[in-house]
Amino acid sequence: MKTGKPSLNTIKLLENISLGSAVFAVVLCVLIIVNFLQVRRADPLNSPAMTVLIEKLQNDPANDQLRQEIRTLDLLARKAFFTAQWQVRTGGYLLFISILVLVSCIKAIELIRSKLPEEPAGKPVMFWETRILKRNWLVYSGIALVVLTLLLAWLTHNDLGNAGGREQGAGNREPGTVNRESGSGSRDTATTSPDSRVTGHDSSSSILHPASDYPNMQEVKNNFPCFRGPGSIGVSERTGIPTSWDGTSGKNVRWKTVIPLPGYNSPLIWNDKLFLSGASESKREVYCIDAVSGKILWTSAVDKIPGSPSQVPGVSKETGLAAPSLATEGRRVYAIFANGDLIALDMDGKKVWAKNLGMPANHYGHSSSLIMYRDILIVQYDQRSGPAVMGLSGKTGEQLWKTPRNVKISWASPSLVTIGKRIELLLAAEPCVASYDPLTGKELWKLDCISGEVGPSLAYANLIVFSVNEYSTLSAIRTGENPKVLWENNEFLSDVPSPVANDDFLFLVTSYGTAVCYDATVGTKYWEHDFGTPVYSSPMLAEGKIYIMDKKGLMHIIKAGKEFSQISQCPLGEGSFCTPAFTNGHIFLRGDKNLYCIGK
């Protein structure tokens, strides 16, 4: 019997573990069932209180206090939505694990008992032996309870997913924007469904998300809120863009302003304000410049951030310490730096919140630019360890979602595009181009087509996404539920400038200065032209013209057509790595030392 004692002790331990697992599983079942009943009884995204408040505001559209109550209730509902999703998903995983542990322990006990000598008569029986005759009904009852619970969990998660899908897919029409009336506070009750009242996509969303929350479609289109403009796809709808200037002589230069610290981020514009950042090894700063006069309105120091590393990352001269472009939704401005410091400032330069995302695990420092979806700040943080894309609350910095990515280092920036009836967040990093729901971070689709440490961002037009990277390939991808590669080419590739496209053509510029035009649908090469100077700035498309800034600061303006036709070449008077920004009648260009306003 001495040799059997360790096995009896093991059995006792396994019995205790299995009992604990069984109790834990029962508790989880109860909690999931209660959660199901609560969701059925009170939909977090469709509360009667919201309906009452909306009806009150319809009768009193000038009531700002009521607007604030609606916005607060809506934010609480959205938080409840994400919390409920997390609870159901986590509960399901934990239930599965506890059942797995329970079954494994029972099987292990049976195996050990089969190898033990028979116990003498009259010896007290153990826990499972007293229940052996009842095992069948226990097993069947437990299986029935677990199956019922998992079914209810699936139904709950499916209902919440459908609610989220309605929010994400109920009429998205513009990259990086929402479809809503701007500030009127009125709605058409005949065309607004109950489910759409909290989505922010229809005419009622001006009530749920007034001007202080996030911008409407027209506001975004009228501004230049991120790298490469609305949606970050390199296409501007601004008109009257200059095609002739000389930074040295001052021809058509309205003003130029020295930027105190260096940076390769490109200017962004909201109404009459421009935003840039700069950094050295000892300082990081954000600048706001008056678009009319060129005067620096305020400078905000980026310091005393919790978790900020004491050492700056090692970077190359081509990236520097302030490479990522900023983003704004017109309520706050957001900046990120090479060391992972992230800050939100109000439009007067006061810090709203700040955090450090962790020292980037790469050899250039963080360089991906920021982008906004509604009031969600999206950060592509593809590093050597723990690559991910995340969505943060613009108002508080709270992490709303984070999606791990099985990719390699990338310095490409995210884009927001309209595909079918939904807005999709597009990212590029080896080995794939991937699409996500910007509201929840859920992966929608991905396609392996790219390799290397990706620098260029994506181009998009007419339901086709274009990806490229040096020593990889240029790919045209037909988007949709089942994406596929339409065509590929590896003759001309870029490792820094991002391509740009319209419905007919794809325009690509290599880092060594060769511009190429392809048929967007079939990949036929129409022309190529060597500028003779390297290019790091991404080309921009505006008014049927392509604007390409080379590293010496010479802007090449060419016709966006099937044949190469150069319109003009305009010198800035200093070197530039940065992508231009447009407003009606003006271009804003960042050189090595100065910011320029071009136009009359």
Q: Three-state DSSP class for 569?
A: strand
Contact 361, 374 (CB under 8 A): no
- Is residue 358 located within the same domain as residue 431? yes
- Record the tokens describing residue 133, joined without a space: 């005759």
> Within a domain: residue 445?
yes
Q: How many alpha carbons lie under 13 Å from residue 449 in its C-beta half-sphere?
A: 26
Q: pLDDT, tens digit, for every residue of 483-517? A: 999 999 999 999 999 999 999 999 999 999 999 99
- Record the tokens describing residue 265, joined without a space: 């981020």
Write down the pLDDT at residue 98.
77
> Within a domain: residue 196?
no
Nearest one of 258, 290, 297, 253 to 587, comparing CA atoms: 253
Q: How many alpha carbons lie under 13 Å from residue 380 in its C-beta half-sphere?
A: 33
> Within a domain: residue 202?
no
Compute CA 488 distance to the chain's CA centroid, rounded to the nearest angstrom: 27
| Cβ count within 10 A of residue 403 | 18
What is the rounded CA–CA span in Å between residue 305 and residue 425? 28
Write down the pLDDT at residue 201.
32
Contact 547, 532 (CB under 8 A): no
What is the rounded CA–CA span in Å between residue 415 and residue 31? 40
Q: Three-state DSSP class for 550?
A: coil
Query: Among 150, 169, 188, which residue terminates a domain?
Result: 169
Q: How many alpha carbons lie under 13 Å from residue 190 in its C-beta half-sphere?
A: 0
- The CA angle 469-551-498, to the nearest 5 degrees, is 30
- The percent of the chain in helix, strand and coil, each rounded to the nearest 5, is 25, 30, 45
Identify the bridge partners of residue 547 per DSSP, sorted by sequence position.
Answer: 540, 557
- Is residue 133 located within the same domain as residue 229? no
- For helices 135-169 and 5-41, what crossing angle results, to 10°? 40
- Record the tokens describing residue 500, joined without a space: 């740009």
> Within a domain: residue 184?
no
Q: Three-state DSSP class for 589?
A: strand
Q: State how beta strands 388-393 and 376-381 pair.
A: antiparallel
Q: Which residues of the chain have pLDDT under 50?
A: 1-4, 45, 125, 127-130, 132-134, 161-211
Locus of tokens 């520097």: 320
| Cβ count within 10 A of residue 394 | 25
- Is residue 290 located within the same domain as residue 426? yes
Could you please report the per-residue DSSP string of 389-430? EEEEETTT--EEEEEE-----B----EEEEETTEEEEEEEET
Could you please report the per-residue DSSP string of 508-520? EE-TTSEEEEEET
- Is residue 165 located within the same domain as residue 227? no
- Is residue 355 located within the same domain as residue 451? yes
Count Cβ atoms within 10 A of the Cβ of residue 111 and give its class: 0-12 exposed, 13-18 middle, 19 or more buried. Answer: exposed
- Is residue 151 located within the same domain as residue 227? no
Q: Three-state DSSP class for 501?
A: strand
What is the rounded CA–CA span in Å between residue 344 and residue 324? 14
- Is residue 139 located within the same domain as residue 255? no
CATH number at residue 433: 2.130.10.10
> Within a domain: residue 153?
yes
Query: Among 169, 196, 230, which residue terminates a domain?
Result: 169
The H-or-E segment that residue 457 falls in is none
- Is residue 522 located within the same domain as residue 423? yes
What is the rounded CA–CA span in Å between residue 61 and residue 474? 52
| Residues found in the chain | 600
> Within a domain: residue 209?
no
- Is residue 165 located within the same domain as residue 249? no
> Within a domain: residue 187?
no
Query: Among 124, 154, 169, which residue terminates a domain?
Result: 169
Write down the pLDDT at residue 231.
95
- Record the tokens describing residue 397, joined without a space: 């910095």
- Report how many domains make up the chain: 2
Spatial CB neighbours of 580, under 8 Å, sequence gap ≥ 6: 266, 537, 540, 547, 549, 555, 587, 588, 589
Domain ranges, residue 92: 2-169
- Is residue 265 located within the same domain as residue 159? no
Nearest one of 562, 501, 559, 500 to 535, comparing CA atoms: 500
Q: Three-state DSSP class for 522?
A: coil
Write down the pLDDT at residue 496.
94
- Is residue 14 located within the same domain as residue 117? yes
What is the rounded CA–CA span in Å between residue 314 and residue 320? 9
Could you please report the per-residue DSSP string of 248-295? TTTBTEEEEEE-SS---PPPEEETTEEEEEEE-SS-EEEEEEETTT--
Compute CA 368 distance to the chain's CA centroid, rounded to the nearest angstrom: 11
Write down the pLDDT at residue 11.
78
What is the rounded CA–CA span in Å between residue 301 and residue 287? 9
Interior/surface letters 533-570, b for 16+ CB within 10 angstroms, e for the rest: ebbbbbbbbbeebbbbbbbbbbbbbbebeeeeeeeeeb
> Within a domain: residue 492?
yes
Count Cβ atoms within 10 A of the Cβ of residue 335 and give its class: 0-12 exposed, 13-18 middle, 19 or more buried. Answer: buried
- Is residue 228 located within the same domain as residue 119? no
Interior/surface letters 264-302, b for 16+ CB within 10 angstroms, e for the rest: bbbbbbbeebbbbbbbeeeebbbbbbebeebebbeebeb
Write down the pLDDT at residue 135.
54
